[in-house]
Every structure is written in C-alpha cells, then in structure tokens.
Amino acid sequence: MSTDISKWLQDIVDIKGVTGVFVVSNRGQIVAHAGVKIETGKIGRIADRILRIEGAFRRKGQSLKEIDIIASNYRIIGMMREYFTIFTLCNSTDALPLIRITLNVTIAHLLEDKKFNKFITKSGTSKTQIINRAVFNKDETKLISKLQR
Amino acid sequence: MALVGNLRDLKLANLIQLNCMEKNTAKLTIEHAGKYGIIYFHGGQIVHAEYDPDIGDNAVYRLLTLEEGNFKVEGGVRSPALTVESSWSNILLEGLHQIDHRKSAEDGINQHLLEMLMNIKGVERAAVISANGSAITSNFTDPDGFVLGAWTVMEINQLISEAQLGTKDFITVVSDKNRLLLREYNDQIMYIELADKIQIDTILPFIQKAFVTV
C-alpha cells in the first residue's frame, strides 16, 4: 500500500482511544492497517460476519453505511463503502467526534486514490454475492430464509 | 431404544404427560444452550428432576419454560434420588401457571420500556422482537426490518464469540433506509429506530438510562 494510505490510517490511530484501524476488502482480506497488530484470521472473521450482515441488507435492497458494536470497555466502528470496509477498534470513545471526522476524511482520500481503487475493485467481490456463497448453520439458515430475494 | 427429538416439535408438558400416563420408568435428558436438565419417571409419577441450580419441583418448572432443546428419553433407567413428591398433574398445572404469570409480567415490563423509549426525543419507533425476528411487543409491523435486526444480532454474537471479544451493550446500524439501535435483554431484542438527524452517541445515554430504570 502507498505511504499516503499508511499515513491516513496512522492519523486515525494517533487519536486518543483508538487502538487499531483496518481496511478490509469484500473478500475479508486486510489490505491496509495501522496500530495494534491483530491476528489476520481474527479480523477476517469480524469482516466476514459484518459482510454477511451487509449481504442480508442488500438482499432487501438496502445499503449499509455503518455498524458499531458498543460495549463498556471497547467499541468497533465499521464504515462501509462499495468495495471495502474500514474497521476502527477503540478502547475509549472520549474523542469519538474527532474519530468520526478523521474516518470520513480518510474514506474520502481512499475513494480518490486511483491506485487503491484499482486494487480494491480487483480484489473485491460484489456484496450481494457474499450472502449467496456463505455457509450457514441451522439457525442462520432458518432466519435468512425469511428474507426472500 | 431411546426416543430423541427437540422441544420445538414436542413440548415438555406433552412428554411428561406421555411418560406418566404410560407409567414409564425412564430418564428424560434435555440439552438447552449447553446446559442439561434431567427428569426421572417411575410408576406414572415424576420422582426426581435436576436443572442447575434447581432440584425437584422448581427444576421441572424451569424446564417447562424451555421452548427448544434436544431431548432424549431412555426407558428402564431408575432414578438415583427422590426429590419430587407432588403429582405430575399438579406440577404441570403449577408450571404452566408460572409461565403465564411470567409472560404477563414480561409483557408489562416490555410495554413500560417501550413507553419510556418512545418518550426520548429522537426515537421514532421501538419494538421488542424475538431472536427469530418475530414481533413480541410492538405497535407497528416491519417483518423484513425485524428479521434484519435479529440477523444482525445473531451475526454480531457469532463475531464476538469467534473474535473472543467481551460482551456488548448495543449495536447500531446505519443504512440508507434507517438508523437502528439494537439491544438484547431477557432473551429478547429491543429494536429501536432513530430519527435521521439525531446523533446516536447523543441519544445513547438516555436509552441506556431507560434500560437501567426498567
């Protein structure tokens, strides 16, 4: 990844309370990250579950923009765009407005970066495909079958 | 040969009735969410029951509240203890009465919580839904929205378990259609739709307060 992208992500990690930031493709691969190193598989699993949620919303003609998981001691902010999702891990949300502004700026930069866009569209897959290809357990199958295409 | 099945298909009350009327000596084991409950039958009566931490009548009452769980009935297995002395019909009546009572108490709590939430500026609509996306307490219908809410909670729970994160309080979902706040409580999901302009982080403390108050 370009040094610009590393710098943009580092700007987010430099904010108080942010421990890590990851840009993940629609295939669940980490394409760029900054901050705390997390086992690739772990972020992949987080991305996979979020992509399944996105896929279900897409099936009903809705487009997801953001999902946050809020707990007393952590927060995960997932911001979605057509070919990537940017996950931000926080252990405190004292500077949340600043985190959001910086994230929006970073996303705007990423969307304008031609090299990044070429790479991410090539390595991605359509969000509607994700849910069609996924393997579900019994409870998931029962629930997802209620969302007829 | 053991009889196996799921409480979704055969209710525990019917299983008890069947074993007692047939005067079976048997052991009934129920597995629900990784926990095991046991009921022993002898000579047409329930003689012993365990469902951690309860033993005896209370264990049966709690087992009767389960709506699903795998069960196995093994014929000819004798009970190691005698902890139930009430007749099976009395136990069933009391158990079903307790379920009704609990359900109406829960309905009251849900209704009260919904009223509190609807009084918060920025909350557009709120409903209590089940894990399978059905409305439990709601004054509006949005079947697809409820299923998407339940789906989101199910996937996030799997994510938390797989990534070994701590327990969550809320999930917020922003789509091009609406802004949702989801929270699990008492094995149910609170589904809250927020107004377009409202900042989720501004409204969150008020919503948290409503849950604490109830």
Rounded CA-CA distance B113/A136 in Å is: 33
The Cα B169–Cα B153 span in angstroms is: 11
Q: Is the ipTM of this complex over 0.85?
A: yes
pLDDT in tens, A111-143: 999 999 888 888 766 666 777 777 888 788 888
Query: What are the structural domains, with CATH classification, of chain A?
Result: 3-137 (3.30.450.30)
* B contacts of A50 (beta carbons < 8 Å): 155, 159
CB contact under 8 A, B159 and A46: yes
pLDDT at A77: 95
**Residue A127: which H helix or E strand, with range?**
helix A127-133
Q: How far is CA B29 from CA B61, B77, B92, B138, B196, in A?
A: 15, 11, 18, 36, 50
Helix axes B88-118, B57-64, angle to 10 degrees: 50
Residues on chain B touching A74 (C-beta within 8 angstroms) = 165-166
Going by C-alpha positions, the residue among B95, B73, B103, B86 that lies closest to residue B187 is: B103
Chain-chain contact of A66 with B173 (C-beta, under 8 angstroms): yes
Could you read off the pLDDT tens digit of each residue along chain B, which spans 214 residues? 789 999 989 999 999 999 999 999 999 999 887 778 999 999 999 999 999 889 999 999 999 999 888 999 999 999 999 999 899 999 999 999 998 888 888 888 889 999 999 999 999 999 999 988 999 999 899 999 999 999 999 999 988 888 888 888 999 999 999 999 999 987 789 999 999 888 888 899 999 999 888 7
Contacts by B85-93 with C-beta closer than 8 Å and gap 24+?
B86/B57, B87/B45, B88/B16, B88/B17, B88/B20, B88/B44, B88/B45, B88/B46, B91/B16, B91/B46, B91/B57, B91/B60, B91/B61, B92/B13, B92/B16, B92/B17, B92/B64
Give residue-wise pLDDT tens across range B104-136. 888 888 899 999 999 999 999 999 999 889 999
Considering CB atoms only, which of B133, B166, B169 is closest to A143?
B133
Q: What is the pLDDT of residue B162?
A: 84
Q: What confidence tier does A39 reach under pLDDT thresholds 50, 70, 90?
A: confident
Q: Is pLDDT at A149 greater than 60 in this prediction?
A: no
Q: What is the rounded average pLDDT for all residues in chain B?
A: 91
For the stretch B81-100, pLDDT in tens is 999 989 999 999 999 999 88
* B85: number of Cβ within 10 Å: 12
Question: Tens of pLDDT along A1-32?
Answer: 567 899 999 999 999 999 999 998 888 788 89
CB B91 within 8 A of CB B49: no
pTM: 0.76
